[in-house]
Amino acid sequence: MASIGDSVELSWFVGKEFELSGVHEGQVRNPRVDDFATHFTFVLDGRAYTAAEDPDDGYRSSLERVFCSSVEDVTNRFPPVRVRGTWSDDMDGASGEVIQFKDCVTGRVVITVGTHNHDDYYPCFVGSFIPDNMVINRSEEERQLALQENMAAIKAKDGQREWGTW
């Protein structure tokens, strides 16, 4: 089990499901470039992970690293929501290394973290949280509809797999 300060590769999150229960975004001084850098922290299965921005030259930025951090520093806490880590499939044709955590019921992106490389030239740190996409922030009617849509999508995917094995 990783300790506070230990680095975690983005790929470690891919394909796994977690209970998301907190998010915090803040700025820390980066003495290397005498500027501030974003720290984006999220809590999965009761453990905090911080994505740290490398501000580079002030015009470009990137994900410096993801590391285990303290849960106590996370001020925005909420009831756990089941999410799944996936590589980003919506990069507008750009390259980069971006992971998304999607709500397992709504199928919508809740957290995005990584480096988006716009036009394969202009890298940019990404750390975003979209709480409206979490099932807990939906009305009961919207929750039921999202669950039905999700089940239909799973059923269709299973049907494609069966058809492909004939």
Predicted confidence band at 166 (pLDDT cuts at 50, 70, 90)? Answer: very low
Predicted confidence band at 139 (pLDDT cuts at 50, 70, 90)? Answer: confident
Structure pTM?
A: 0.80
Average confidence score pLDDT of the chain: 84
Query: Dihedral (C-alpha) 42, 105, 84, 117: value to the nearest 10 degrees?
Result: -80
Predicted confidence band at 92 (pLDDT cuts at 50, 70, 90)? Answer: low
Average pLDDT for 24-38: 77
> By mean pLDDT, which of 12-26, 81-95, 130-144, 150-164 is the weakest?
150-164
Which residues have CB under 8 Å from 95's CB, separation 6+?
Answer: 117, 120
Which residues have CB under 8 Å from 72's CB, separation 6+?
Answer: none
